[in-house]
Structure 1
Amino acid sequence: MSPVDTVMWRGDSDRRLRSTICVLEVYDTEPDWNRLIAAHDWGSRMAPRFRQRVVESPLRTGTPSWQVDPDFDLHYHVRRVRVAGDGSMREVFTLCEQLAMTPLDPARPPWEGYLIDGLANGKTAYFLKAHHALTDGMGAILVLAQLHSKSRDPIPGKPQPPAPPVKDLSALGVLTRQVEEEIARIPRLAGMAFDGVKALTDPKKALSRVLRYGRSVPRVAGMISPPGSPLLAGRSVSWRFSAFEVPFDAIRAASKASGASVNDVYLGGLIGGFRLYHERMGQPVEAIPVAIPISVRQPDDPEGGNRIAVGRLSGPTGIRDPFERVLTIREQVRAARSEPAVDIFNTIGPVLAWIPGPVLTQFSATTSQNDLQASNVPGIPWETFVAGAKVERMYPFGPLPGCAVMATMITHNETACLGLNFDAAAITESELFADCIVDGFNEVLELGESAGRLERVI
C-alpha cells in the first residue's frame, strides 16, 4: 500500500474520517443476475486489487500490505436488496445513505456491490461502495468500466485472465517488505541530498527556492485558509446524499463564454449555491475554505491506489456576479496547481505512514476545516450496458473526511451527474441547500446562454 493510501486507511480509526467512496447507477431494466456475477468475477480478475485484502503490519505502523484474499467470495461482496416503500428515488437514496455509513469489513477486500430491486417504472439500481485506499475517483471509474459493455447482448471473445494466485503473507513478510521499501528510498533520498548540495553552488537561487517552498507549505496544508463558516460548523457521523444532473453541453457553453475551464464553471456553480444558502439563512460570509484534488495519475499508473495532490482555494461566496466569481476561481485554481509544495502530502507520506492511526487522525484539521471539497471525474462518454441493462445515470458520492460537504461530478454519456454527500450536522436545512445549489449553478450556466439547466434528482 502506498503511504497516501495508508493515511486514508488508518484514518478510519476516527469514525468521522471514514474514506468510503460510492457510485449509484440507475438501469432501465433488471440486469441478468448470473451475468452480473460473472461480470464481477471477470472484472476482479482484470483488476486484481479488488480481490485483495489489507494485511496490517504487526507493529501497526508503516505501510500495510495488499494480499489476495484466500477466501475471496463474491457471494459476500455482491448482494441483492429491495428498496422499501414506493420504490421512489428518495427511498433509493435513503437506502444508499445507510449502506454508505456502514463500515467495510477490514478482513476482506474493502468493497461491496448491491443490486437494488423494486424501483418505480421497472427500473433497477446498482450501488458500489469501496474504501478510498483501494482507488481514487479516476481509478474507480476505470475499474467500474470493467463491468460495463457497449452492447446489451453478451460479447464473445473477451480476454479471460486467470484469477490472481494466492500467496501466503506472514507478519515477518510484511516487516521484510517494509524494510525493503525503506532501503529502496535511500537512492532517491541520496539524490535529493546531492541536488541540495549542488544547489549551494548558487546560494542565492537555492535560498529563493527554499523560501518559495516554505511559503507554499502553509497554503497547501490549509494553515492560512479562510475560517470555516459558522453556519456549517457542525460535524457528526451522519451522511446525507443529494443528486443533480445537467446536459454537459450547458457547462461547455458557460466555459466557452467565460474563458474558464469546465472545472472552474463547476466550482463557480457550487460556490454560488453556498453563497445563496448563507444569504437565505441570514448568515452571509465573504469566503469559505475549499479543497480540490489535483490528479497526478499517469497513463502507465496501476488502476488501484490514489494518485492525487491537494489544492486549496478561498471560495468567493462574497462575489455575487457569476462571471467575476468564475474568473476568480480560475485564477485561484491556476495558483493552486502551480504551488511549489502542491505534492507535499505524497512527499511526507512515507513519514506519516509510520505514525499510529489514533495519532494520525490528529492531522484531520487539514480536512475538517474545509466547508467544501469538490472533485470532477471524467466518466464514460458513450452508451453503456451492464448484464443486459442500459446504464441511464451514474451518481458519484465521495467520502466526508471531516468536511461539511463533498461534491463529485461525473459526466456519463453527455449528462453531467453531480452527487453531494453532506454532513447532516453541517447542513441543517437540506431542502433549502439543494434548492440553493440549483439556483447558484444555474446563474453560472446562464453565462453560456444555453437552454440546459441543472435539475435536482433528489
Structure 2
Amino acid sequence: MSPVDALMWRGDTDRRLRGTISMLEIYDCVPDWERLLAAHEWGSRMAPRFRQRVVDSPLRTGTPSWAVDPDFDLHYHLRHIRLAGDGSMRELLSACEQLAMTALDPARPPWEGTLIEGLPDGRSAYFLKAHHALTDGLGAILGLAQLHSTSRDPIPGKPQPPSPEPVNISALDVVGRQLGEEVQRLPHRVDTAMRGMRALTRPTKALSDVLRYGRSVPRVAGLVSPPGSPLLAARSISWRFSAFEVPFADLKAAGATARASVNDVYLAGLIGGFRLYHEKLGQPVDAIPVAIPISVRRPEDPAGGNRIAVGRMAGPVGIADPFERVLTIREQVRAARTEPAVDIFNTLGSVLAWLPGQVLAQFSGATTQNDLQASNVPGIPWDTYVAGAKVERMFPFGPLPGCAVMATMITHNGTACLGLNHDAASITEPELFAECLVDGFNEVIALGAEKDSGATESVDPVLMRRVI
C-alpha cells in the first residue's frame, strides 16, 4: 500500500473520517443476476485489487500490505435488495446513505456492491461502495469499467485471466517488508541530503527556494485558509445524499465564454449555490475554505491506489457576478496547482504512515475546517451496459472527511452527473440548499447561453435539475 493510501486507511480510526467512496448507477431494467455475478467474478480477475484485503503490522504503523484474500467470497461482496416503498429517487438515496454509512469489514477486500430493485417502470440501480484506500476517483472509474460492456448482449472472446493465487501473509511479514522498504529508501534520502548540501554553494538561491517552499506549506496544509462559515460549523457522523444533472455541453459553453475550464465552471456553480444559501438564511460570508484534489496519476500508473495531491482555495462566496466568480476561481485553481508544496502529503507520506491512527486523527483539522471539498472525475462518454441493462446515469458520492459538503461530478454520455454528500448537522435546510445549488449552477450556465444567443439581457435557463 502506498503511504497516501495508508493515511486514508488509518483515518478510519476516527469514525468521522471514514474514507468510503460510492457510485450509484441507474439502469433501464433489472440486469440478469447470474450475468451480474459472472461480471463481478470476471472483473475481479481483471482487476485483482478487488480480491485483495489489507494486512497491517502488529502496531498498526507503517504502510500495510495488500494480499489476495484466501477467503474471498463474492457471495459476501455482492448483495441484492428491493426498496420497500414507492421506489422514488428519495427512497433510493436514503437506502444508499445507510449503505454508505455502514463500515466496511477491514478483514475482507474493502468493497461491496448492491443491486437495488423496486424502482418505477421496471428500472433498477446498482450501488458500489469501496474504501478510498482501494482507489481514487479515476481509478474507481477504471475498475468499474470492468463491469461495463458496449453491448446489451454478451460479448464472446473476452480475455480470461486466471484467478489470482491466494496469499497468506502475517503481521510479522508486513514488518519485514516495511523494514526492507525503509532500507531501499536510504539511498534516495542520502541523495536528497547531498543535493541539499550542494545547494548551499548557492546560498541566495537555496534560501529563496526554502522560503518559497516554507510559505507554501501552510497554504497547502490549510493552515491559512479563510475561517469556516458559522452557518456550516456543526459536524456529525450522519451523511445525506442528493443528486443533480446538467448537460455537459452547457458547462463547456459557459467555460468557453469565460475562457475557463469545465472544472472552473463546476466550482463556480457550487460556490454560487453556497452564496445563495447563506444569503437566504441571512448569514452572508465573503469566502469559505475549499479543497480540491489534484490528480497526479500518470498513464503508466496502476488502476488501484490514489494518485492525488491537495489544492486549497478561498471560495469566493461573496462574489455575486457569475462571470467574475468563474475568473476568480480560474486563477485560484491555477495558483493551487502550482504551489511548490502541492505534493507534500505524497512527499511526507512514508514518514507520516509510521504514526498510529490515533495520532494521525489529531491532524484532521486539515479537512474538518473545509466547508466544501469538490472533485471532478472523467466518466464514460458512450452508451454502456451491465448484464443486459443499460446504464442511464452514474452518480458519484465521496466521503465526508470532516468537511461540511463533499461534491463529486462525473460525466456520463453527455450528461454531467453531480453527487452531493453533506453532513446532516452542517446543512440544516437541505431542500433550500438543493434549490440554491440549482440556481447557482444555472446563473453560471447562463453565461454560455448569453454568448450563443447574442442577447444583451440576462438569460436564466433552468438547465440543471435535481434528480428526485
TM over 0.5: yes
2: CA distance between counterparts of 1:110 and 1:49? 10
| Percentage identity across paired residues of the two chains | 76
Find out whether 1:358 has 2:368 as its counterpart: no
User: Which stretch has the larger CA shift, 310-319 or 168-177?
Assistant: 168-177
Give 1:9's aligned residue. Answer: 9
Alignment map for 1:145-160 (pairs within 5 Å): 145-160=145-160
Q: Distance in 2 between matches of 1:112 and 1:248?
A: 30
Aligned equivalents of 1:248, 1:313: Cα separation in 2: 24
Mapped to 1, the partners of 2:366 and 2:331 lie a distance apart of 22
Cα displacement string for residues 291-345 of structure 1 (whole angstroms, at most 9, x for unaligned residues): 0000000101011110000000000000000000000000000000000000001
Query: Using a 3 Å threshold, how does the CA distance of structure 1 residues 45 and 452 change in structure 2: closer, same or farther?
Result: farther
Return the letter of the residue paired with 2:50. F
AA at the equivalent of 1:265? V
Runs of 4+ in 1 over 6 A off after TM superposition: none
Equivalent residue, structure 2, for 1:454 = 464
- Counterparts of 1:365-444 in structure 2 under 5 Å? 365-444=365-444
Retained in 2: the 8 A contact 1:7–1:353?
Answer: yes
Q: Secondary structure at the match of 2:157?
A: coil
Distance 1:190 1:158 in 2: 48
Residue number in structure 2 paired with 1:302: 302
- Superposed counterparts of 1:22-421, under 5 Å: 22-421=22-421
Whether contact under 8 Å (1:28, 1:391) holds in the other structure is yes
* DSSP 3-state at the match of 1:185: helix
Q: 1:201: Cα distance to partner?
A: 1.8
5+ long unaligned stretches in structure 2: 453-460
Once the two structures are TM-superposed, the CA of residue 171 in structure 1 deviates from its matched residue by 2.2
Segment of structure 1 superposing worse, 447-456 or 410-419: 447-456
- Paired AA for residue 464 in structure 2: L
User: Secondary structure of 1:172's partner?
Assistant: helix
| Partner Cα distance (1:171, 1:339) in 2 | 38
CA distance in 1, matches of 2:37, 2:448: 44
Amino acid at match of 2:463: R
Question: Does the CA-based 8 Å contact 1:272-1:317 persist in structure 2?
Answer: yes
Measured on the aligned residues, the alpha-carbon RMSD in Å equals 0.8
Q: Distance in 2 between matches of 1:312 and 1:411?
A: 24
Instruction: Give the 3-state SS of the residue equivalent to 2:198 in structure 1.
Output: helix
In the alignment, the residues of structure 1 paired with residue 192 and residue 153 of structure 2 have an alpha-carbon distance, to the nearest angstrom, of 54
What is the letter of the counterpart of residue 28 of structure 2? D
Contact between 1:246 and 1:452, CA under 8 Å: does it hold in 2? Answer: no
**How far, CA to CA, are the matches of 1:172 and 1:404 in structure 2?**
39
**Structure 1: tracts of 5 or more residues without a match:** none
Aligned length: 458
SS in 2 for 1:113: strand
Supply the distance in 2 between the matched residues of 1:3 and 1:437 (Cα, whole angstroms).
36
Structure 2: how far apart are the matches of 1:452 and 1:264? 20
Rounded Cα–Cα distance in structure 2 between residues aligned with 1:73 and 1:273: 44
Q: How much does 1:102 deviate?
A: 0.4
Task: Tell me how far apart the structure 2 counterparts of residues 168 and 457 of structure 1 sit (CA, whole Å).
Answer: 46
Q: Tell me how far apart the structure 2 counterparts of residues 194 and 385 of structure 1 sit (CA, whole Å).
A: 55
Q: How far has the Cα of 1:289 moved from its partner? A: 0.1
Q: CA deviation at 1:170?
A: 1.7
Conservation of the 8 A alpha-carbon contact between 1:250 and 1:452: no
Q: Whole-Å Cα distance in 2 between the matches of residues 74 and 171 of structure 1?
A: 25
CA distance in 1, matches of 2:199, 2:14: 42
Q: Residues of 2 paired with 1:218 and 1:367: CA distance? A: 13
Report the CA distance between 1:31 and its aligned residue. 0.4
